Amino acid sequence: MISRDSIVALSSGRLPAGVAVIRISGPQTRFVVETISGGMVKDRVAVLRRLRAPDGTVLDHGLVVFFPGPASFTGEDVAEFHVHGGRAVVARMLETIAGFDGVRHAEPGEFTRRAFLNSKVNLVETEALADLVNAETEAQRRFAIQNAEGAQSELYFGWRRRLIHARAMIEAEIDFADEDDVPGSVSATVWFDVQAMIGEIDRHIAGFRAAEIIRDGFEVVILGAPNAGKSSLFNTLARRDAAIVTDEPGTTRDLLEVTLDLEGLRVRLTDTAGLRDAPGKIEAIGIEKARAKADRADLLLLLQDLADPRDVGPLPAAIPALRVGTKLDLLDGQAAANAAAHYDLVISVAEGVGVGALLAEIGQRAARAAGSAGDILPSRLRHIELLGETNRHLLRATSDQGVGQELRAEELRLAADRLGRLVGAVDVEDLLDVIFSQFCIGK
């Protein structure tokens, strides 16, 4: 076992709570349990005990669970005290346990760090555990649990195994080049597989945007001329009066943002200043911000007042857009029918027409951009960087341009090494602080 100190922390959330879980891991765990619970408890069974400080003071009545190492979450002896979730109860419990010799308060992510150091989880699973704890939407939860269970790391381990095999074959061919029983076509098959893997890795890297959408949300920006009804739509979708609405053109100046949960996906909706030429100083800054935000959007909603359509000039052409006609209620039946043909959707916020259809359309586009449930996607910039390096080595390995088999085999080794760093199978000491700094205390 690598760690000598035992660590303790509150592993459950905000206080006060009905119940709070205090967790301890390390070699002092048995002694702490014996002392506080007045004797050992059966392994892996929750037992109700009176909990006392070493001086005999009763702290609480709570459940005690003991998990002997190495078959525990961290791989060390672990115990949990499930106590009443009052601030004073928890404070006194933590203070008492941290007062034992060899026991101290845990740092953020330290339980999971020990699980990693004891090979209970690999690095990619560790990151997924952090994502699982932070998941707020159903899509985030689904994505994180899939990777916490190993889907993403299995993909990387699989590629790494194929490269190790490829390198073994190429080196065998180098060593036995002049013997007859090593068929020359072996290397052709190997290079063919490596070539295929480059494509697989490139496609996987391309999935990063989908992972970002799952994590950070699908960016939708509302644009249009002043008074087009942007803020009115924004408030309706947000289901609250987040933006000021008046009949005065130029009401909105700053960017306003709300987060929606559309069928389990996070969607970030931004209201912007109406676009028009040379308005006042404040409005001009707002318009500049609106254009900058639009450049980074996943979807634009281009609103136009059906009763007073105005042109707003060129918009980012590369970004998908929905043309939305607003204030449908102001048109008579015939004019309304004619107008509908020129837009993707027509709406009346005043009468609640078309808003449901617009929301459904946004939801569908967000879902498409986030990929299908079960897609294995890279979830961190770290993954993209190492996968990019992997492929650069593989491209060098597969280019014949006067490079000997030895050097090509070496490129295969370097590529496999990059994948090893990804999952933490090769030395990653320098990475650990970065990764575990993303955790909260008690995890």
Ligand X SMILES: Nc1nc2c(c(=O)[nH]1)N(C=O)[C@@H](CNc1ccc(C(=O)N[C@@H](CCC(=O)O)C(=O)O)cc1)CN2
* Site residues (vs ligand X, CB under 6 A): 21, 67, 71-73, 80, 120
Does residue 252 interact with Mg ion by CB under 5 A?
yes
Minimum CB distance to ligand GTP smaller for 21 or for 273: 273
Q: How far is the CB of 65 from ligand X (least distance, A)?
A: 7
User: Under rule CB under 5 A, how many of the chain's residues touch Mg ion?
Assistant: 4
327 belongs to an annotated ligand binding site: no
Minimum CB distance to ligand X smaller for 13 or for 199: 13
Q: How far is the CB of 243 from ligand GTP (least distance, A)?
A: 7
Minimum CB distance to ligand X smaller for 68 or for 249: 68
400 belongs to an annotated ligand binding site: no
Of ligand GTP, Mg ion, ligand X, none, which one does residue 327 interact with (CB within 5 to 8 Å by kind)? ligand GTP
Of ligand GTP, ligand X, Mg ion, none, which one does residue 218 interact with (CB within 5 to 8 Å by kind)? none
443 belongs to an annotated ligand binding site: yes
Q: How far is the CB of 231 from Mg ion (least distance, A)?
A: 3
Minimum CB distance to ligand GTP smaller for 137 or for 326: 326
Which one, of 123, 211, 117, 201, lies nearest residue 163 by Cα?
Answer: 201
38 belongs to an annotated ligand binding site: no
Q: Which residues contact 396 (CB under 8 A, 6 or more apart)?
A: 403, 408, 411
Minimum CB distance to ligand X smaller for 71 or for 357: 71
Draw the binding track, 190-229, toward Mg ion (x: CB under 5 A; -: no contact). Answer: ----------------------------------------
Q: How far is the CB of 130 from ligand X (least distance, A)?
A: 11
Taking the CA atoms of 78, 82, 85 and 91 in sequence, report the sign of the dihedral they define.
negative
289 belongs to an annotated ligand binding site: no
Minimum CB distance to Mg ion smaller for 230 or for 293: 230
281 belongs to an annotated ligand binding site: no
Does residue 231 interact with Mg ion by CB under 5 A?
yes
Minimum CB distance to ligand X smaller for 67 or for 343: 67
80 belongs to an annotated ligand binding site: yes
- Specify burial of residue 338 (Cβ count, 10 A radius: 0-12, 13-18, 19+): exposed
Does residue 326 interact with Mg ion by CB under 5 A?
no
Q: Are 420 and 124 in contact (CB under 8 A)?
A: no
Write out the residues near ligand GTP by the rule CB under 6 A: 224, 226-232, 245-247, 249-252, 273-274, 326-327, 329-330, 348-350
Q: Which residues contact 182 (CB under 8 A, 6 or more apart)?
A: 172, 173, 176
Does residue 146 interact with Mg ion by CB under 5 A?
no
Q: How far is the CB of 43 from ligand X (least distance, A)?
A: 10
C-alpha angle 151-396-166 in degrees, rounded to nearest 5:
55
Q: How does strand 321-326 pair with strand 345-346?
A: parallel
Q: How far is the CB of 236 from Mg ion (least distance, A)?
A: 13
Which one, of 363, 132, 354, 368, lies nearest residue 263 by Cα?
Answer: 363
Q: Are 240 and 219 in contact (CB under 8 A)?
A: no
Q: How far is the CB of 243 from Mg ion (least distance, A)?
A: 6
Q: How far is the CB of 268 from ligand GTP (least distance, A)?
A: 18
Minimum CB distance to ligand X smaller for 147 or for 272: 147
Give the annotated binding-site residues for Mg(2+).
Answer: 231, 252
Annotated binding residues for GTP, as ranges?
A: 227-232, 246-252, 271-274
Annotated binding site for (6S)-5-formyl-5,6,7,8-tetrahydrofolate: 23, 80, 120, 443
